[in-house]
A = this chain, B = another copy of it.
């Protein structure tokens, strides 16, 4: 059906999936890497950097914004987008937690 059975899963499972989904496209990874290495982080710069149309990049920025990975402030006609440390920290901790649980459990693994 192409539709995810959201109701069938816990809100934590849905939230985690949404975080990963926001990062599940190379353009959005590229945007995050670009924001990491640049002080100035205006949409126009990203359009110059990536081989995608302005409308497409605006769409990817919107998805990253919806997932709270980035935040934008208006600077004249331009918009300054920056990474949001909070959400990245949350994601980091969740993956750390899974990896650590697995390391502990790994002595009694079945495969």
A interface with B by C-beta (< 8 Å): 4-6, 8-10, 13-14, 16-17, 20-21, 23-30, 32-33, 36, 39-41, 50-52, 71-73, 80-83, 85, 88-89, 91-92, 95-96, 98-99, 101-103, 105-106, 108-111
Known: A20-B23, A25-B17, A36-B105. A95 touches B98 (CB 8 A): no
Quick one: closest B residue to A75, CB to CB?
A: B110
Q: Is the CB of B91 within 8 A of A103?
A: no
Q: Is the CB of A17 within 8 A of B8?
A: no
The SS class assigned to the A binding surface is helix
Q: Is the CB of B110 within 8 A of A80?
A: yes
Quick one: closest B residue to A95, CB to CB?
A: B92
